[in-house]
Amino acid sequence: MSELKINGNIRQFTLPLSVADLVEQLGYAGKRIAVERNGEIVPKSQHAVTQLAEGDCLEVVVAVGGG
């Protein structure tokens, strides 16, 4: 198991894991989200090919609509 920091919380996952895999495991698949990895935004087009590594720090933000 490897540790990733997600939105300030340490969580354990089995690597290898892509950003797309993580999004699915967190239950955000199909939702409008933004993912930042180690201070840099990961474009949605790169989610499937961006591999995560032990100790990565991620911020996942879900877009909320409304008025």
pLDDT tens per residue across span 8-65: 999 999 999 999 999 999 999 999 999 999 999 999 999 999 999 999 999 999 988 8
Helix or strand holding residue 66 (H, E): none
What is the pLDDT at residue 67?
67
Residue predicted with more confidence, 67 or 37:
37
Q: Which long-range contacts (CB under 8 A, 24 or more apart) does 21-24 make?
A: 22/52, 22/58, 23/47, 23/60
Specify the residue for token string 């993580």: 22
Residue 4 has pLDDT above 80, yes or no: yes
- Whole-model pTM: value is 0.92
What is the pLDDT at residue 64?
85
> What CATH fold (topology level) applies to the domain 2-62?
Ubiquitin-like (UB roll) (3.10.20)
Cβ–Cβ contacts within 10 Å for residue 23, how many?
20
Residue 15: C-alpha distances to residues 3, 30, 34 (Å): 9, 22, 21
Residue 66 has pLDDT above 90, yes or no: no
